[in-house]
Amino acid sequence: GVADVVVTSWYGLLAPAGTPPEVAEQLARDAREILNQPAVRESLNQQGLSESTMTPAAFGAYIRNETNTWAGVIKARRIVAQ
């Protein structure tokens, strides 16, 4: 294992670079509405998944943090692509 690193799997909805902020916010609201539907939540739970929503800004920060975390692990362990 790697100390201080927690591994989780996640899925996210992303839009192309340059998408207007108001469009990204509307997509986030629509996704949140869908994920809050009882049938969707139940289906996810049956698959061992849980829903979690973030604002586009928070999700961007999360992705940057994940990228930095894994870049550090790769560098520290001298992992190279094969």
Q: What is the pTM of this model?
A: 0.80
Query: What residue spans define the domains of the chain?
Result: 21-76
What pLDDT digit, counting tens, does each position of 16-67 carry?
999 999 999 999 999 999 999 999 999 999 999 999 999 999 999 999 999 9
Look at residue 14 and tell me whether its pLDDT is greater than 80.
yes
* pLDDT at residue number 39: 98
Rg (CA), the chain: 16
> In sequence order, what are the residues at sequence separation of 6 or more whose Cβ sits closer than 8 angstroms to the Cβ of residue 74?
none
User: pLDDT band at residue 4, thresholds of 50, 70 and 90?
Assistant: confident
